[in-house]
Structure 1
Amino acid sequence: MPTTLPAAAAPAAPARPKIGLVGVSKRFAVNNREVVALDSVDLAIEPGQFFMIVGPSGCGKTTLLRILAGLEQPTEGEVTLSGASGDRPANSMIFQGDSIFPWMTVRENASYGLRMRNRPAGEIRDVVDHFLDKTGLTQFADAYPHQLSGGMRQRVSIARAFANDPDVLLMDEPFSALDEQNKTLLQEELLRIWEETRKTVVFITHSVDEAVSLGDRIMVMTARPGRAKAFVDVPFERPRSVLELRQRPEYGEIVYDIWQHLRDEVTASQRASKEAAVAGHRRGWRR
């Protein structure tokens, strides 16, 4: 009697990415000429992933983030966001400079998104208290932004973003204007809060160190027009400490690998900027 073999298990369907980009391009008209900011970007970001984007100045990083935020529309291609819930905002964005309201207190700023969503007063109080505590702002709850340092104002931005419970958190070089000490402290605080929520994060930075310290996966972009040049997976376990991580030999190896991808693109970007400046000078001289 023939032996009946068990049927082979069907391969598991691949998980749908939280954020998907297929063939995304963006062109702008500048002074009667077309500028291509992004060119055919394909990208998949998994749910709960801390995704970093690095690239030279002018490569389209912020344009890409603005497309993800819905502030810009791609000229070509498709952007998808899966698993969005109707009872929470699709995204919250933290910018490079101050983006909090100067006429509101710390507490009023942190609660702004929840108040706009008409959440119950008790819920707002509890959620805001929690994130003010996490960001070290409890004793400054009634202070106004002009009374705070730059680092503390960015803490308010972080508290407001997490309190609003977005589906995706978008961060555009939020720590670039801070001194190294404040930057490191805020990186540590951001990781602690993120560990608690495991939000999907897309974070733009010029700093390779910051990308490796914070991220799960890093996209290296080319000089303009921005394309995906390389993807680098960060193998370090979580939770992690920024300072302890930077003492590990393999940390330096990954930083070096990313810089190897990035170096030619930075050089190309600088060369293009110089050529554009010379061309502009010549046009002005002819006039």
Structure 2
Amino acid sequence: MQNQDLDSASGSKIRVKGLTKQFTSKGGTFVAVDDVSLDIPAGRFFMIVGPSGCGKTTLLRMLAGLETRTSGSIEITRGDTGRPVNSMIFQGDSIFPWMTVWDNAAYGLRMRGVPKADIKETVGHYLDRTGLSKFAGSYPHQLSGGMRQRVSIARAFANDPEILLMDEPFSALDEQNKTLLQQELLRIWDETKKTVLFITHSVDEAVTMGDQIMVMTAQPGRAKVLIDVPFERPRHVLELRARPEYGELVYQIWDSLREEVQRAQRVEE
């Protein structure tokens, strides 16, 4: 992965060119991601949707540095070099079960050697913003699934990364908790304007949250179409979904995605 200074001519926070990932096993070579290129400005809330097995998570893991690429390039324009490049929120529970809510949220800051007074202020702020202040001394096993994901969100924002990577963080939640967490995430993002890459299977979620949506093809995963989301911010989740133009955009994206979902199903049969 290549880092650039802020005066980079590209003007991008993330620039991906021809990114490809192949896995080799006894059965042969499997292409998970094929020739994907992206250009994402700073502060963009970027959504990726696609059928199961299209390489969405593999793409995100390459951006996080958790997976090596077969070919292509990833360039990230750094801002404050004292901050981490990225934090990742996973689909399942990723908080430490032996730590309290407070200690989980403070973990990244402590690892970076941030002064205790700054940790107290920052963690306190994000626990308050995620509705977890009363549970600061609780352990993960004492929390619901939705509350554990709130801890993940608080920890990620408290660590103050330049880029936030989210891999279907709300997929295991019921609709009520999902809607509440979508609204909370939008509210916190409105304050910070971090660059976000968010993977989802849900077209509704992509339109609700994103500034831009990339639809990926069935395996091997390629960029099929890039769609701008025209809705103003700040957004209220339920009010937005009641607008007729919201339904029209959801239909447009689903129409682009339908063929890929059907192709993915045929491969699985």
**Pairing 1:151–2:138 present:** no
Higher Cα Rg, which structure: 1
What does residue 128 of structure 2 align with? Answer: 133
What does residue 279 of structure 1 align with? Answer: none
In structure 2, list runs of 5 or more residues that go unmatched: 1-7
Moved more, 79-88 or 169-178: 79-88
The correspondence of residues 33-182 of structure 1 with structure 2, limited to 5 A, is 33-182=28-177
TM-score when normalising by structure 1: 0.90
1:66, 1:271 → 2: CA distance?
A: 26
1:256, 1:21 → 2: CA distance?
A: 28
1:259, 1:80 → 2: CA distance?
A: 30
1:15, 1:198 → 2: CA distance?
A: 20
What does residue 252 of structure 1 align with? Answer: 247
1:32, 1:252 → 2: CA distance?
A: 43
TM-score when normalising by structure 2: 0.96
What does residue 264 of structure 2 align with? Answer: 269
Q: 1:28 to 1:199 in 2, by over 3 A?
A: same
DSSP-derived class of the 2:22 partner? strand
Percent of pairs identical after alignment?
68
**Pairing 1:229–2:224 present:** yes
1:43, 1:105 → 2: CA distance?
A: 38
2:28, 2:136 → 1: CA distance?
A: 49
1:74-130 Cα deviation digits (max 9, x unpaired): 101000001343201000000000000000000000000000000000000000000
DSSP-derived class of the 2:197 partner? strand
Letter in 2 for 1:242: V
- Ranges of 4+ aligned residues in structure 1 off by more than 3 Å: none
What does residue 199 of structure 1 align with? Answer: 194
Letter in 1 for 2:159: N
In structure 1, list runs of 5 or more residues that go unmatched: 1-12, 275-287
Letter in 1 for 2:152: S
Q: 1:35 to 1:15 in 2, by over 3 A?
A: closer
RMSD of aligned Cα (Å): 1.0
